[in-house]
Amino acid sequence: MSTRHPQTQLIHPDYQPIDGFQSINPPVYKASTVFFRSVKAMRAHDWRQENSYGYGLDNTPTTLTLAHQIATLEGGAHALLCPSGLSALAVVNLALLKAGDEVLLPDNIYGPNRDMAAGLLAQYGISSRLYDPLQADQLQFSAQTKLLWLEAAGSITLEFPDLCGLIARAKAANVLCALDNTWGAGLAFNAFALGVDVSVHALTKYPSGGGDVLMGSIVTQNRDLHLTLKAAHRQLGIGVAANDVELVLRSLPTLALRYDAHDRSTQQLAEWLQQQPQVAQVLHPRLPHSAGHGYWQQVCGASGRAAGLLSVVLKCPERAQVDRFCDALRLFKIGYSWGGPVSLVMPYDLDTIRPQGADHIRHGGLGHSSLVRLAIGLEQVEDLQQDLAQALATLDMPTIDGSAIDDAN
């Protein structure tokens, strides 16, 4: 494992160039069939061996280069690549759980992972329970509990969990800890130093950086655990396309610079939004009043990084006004995902995403929540602030029967 700083390592991948031709980016190898030198070599091939090639679905020099880079980035030893972040979450669930087992999920978990637990996992006899990620001492394990999912921070409501407390409780109960590390991206904190067993990363987000690739990774330190996951990965026929891998490899050298730029702009906008009269609350782990801010400080450092997501609760009684705010934004596009150059906005219904409730989140209006998640892109921050200001101004317009009086010009 490399001891270099991630920023340097991401620019200097460990790949062996062919003699006489060395370039910045590694070549793109494509294969379903891989030739063996002899029958003996074919028989000697062992999928458990790293750097051993048997079939394109398992490994190519291109996918191995990216896997090594991601493992190094996250402070782990082994990585598997999956065609999306969600498929990486699925491989972990299917590899580590069996009928009769129980999995624990934070109540602010990435929604599709919760849906998988309530859907496919339940169908296969695996039960699940939601827990409050801010209350480690209330975490309850049963004899059936085999896996604890962690997510830092929650990607919509942005509570930062008591990672150290939760991991300590899981270790004491001999329960595996899997972290959805998409937000931290291997840059905000070192998951393995904290004792996490498995780290899943939606490379779709910051590592791709372009908003045009879907990919996921599963990183481990323990080889036996890696092989358990790799066996499931093989049995499920999971693979990634070489051209997608190429795009992620090309983006990795700028990962840390982009992450810091997202982080800086988000801090500036979070602080500015807090002062706007139309805003009831800003959710962002760096803000002192944000839920789990102390845990964020503990793990990321008081002057650490806090990624590019923030949510705002708008002071408005009508859902139509929230929608109008989102529609009024010009630079912020309405869309899912994050980590690309373009800023994104998405309104969420708190009752749907947090069925157990979230008392620390204010209700901006009458009953229903008016939560809007902003993913801050790489545009000049002053332009983003101006865009937010003009969209917030639409909330001040008078309304008749809850519907806006449109500017008729």
Binding site for ligand PLP (CB under 6 A): 84-86, 110, 155, 180, 182, 202, 204-205, 214, 216, 337
What would the DSSP string read from start to end of 305-365? Answer: --TTEEEEEE--S-HHHHHHHHHH-SSSEE-S--SSSS-EEEEE-HHHH-TT--TTSPP-S
By beta-carbon proximity to ligand PLP, the closer residue of 290 and 394 is 290
* Residue 57 · residue 31 · CB < 8 Å: no
**Closest CB 112 distance from ligand PLP, rounded Å:** 7
Of 166 and 395, nearer to ligand PLP (C-beta) is 166
Q: What residue number has its CB nearest to ligand PLP?
A: 85
Min dist. Cβ of residue 111 to ligand PLP (A): 9
Q: Are 221 and 77 in contact (CB under 8 A)?
A: yes
Closer residue to ligand PLP (CB): 155 or 265: 155
- Alpha helices (runs of H) in 15-136, residue ranges in sequence order: 39-44, 61-73, 85-96, 111-116, 122-123
* C-beta closer to ligand PLP: residue 86 or 313: 86
Do residues 339 and 299 lie in contact, with contact meaning Cβ atoms separated by under 8 Å? Answer: no
Spatial contact of 199 and 75, defined as CB atoms under 8 Å apart: no
State the nearest-atom distance from the C-beta of 212 to ligand PLP, in Å.
12
Cβ at position 120, least distance to ligand PLP in Å: 15
On whether the CB atoms of residues 153 and 296 are closer than 8 A, the answer is yes
Phi, psi dihedral angles at 322 (to 5 degrees): -60, -45
Q: Rounded to the nearest whole angstrom, what is the least distance from the CB of residue 110 to ligand PLP in the complex?
A: 4
CA-to-CA distance for 351 and 359, rounded, in angstroms?
12
CA distance 53 to 47: 8
- Of 75 and 207, the one with the shorter C-beta distance to ligand PLP is 207
Query: Considering the complex, what minimum distance in angstroms separates the CB of residue 93 from ligand PLP?
Result: 12
Closer by beta carbon to ligand PLP, 245 or else 328: 245
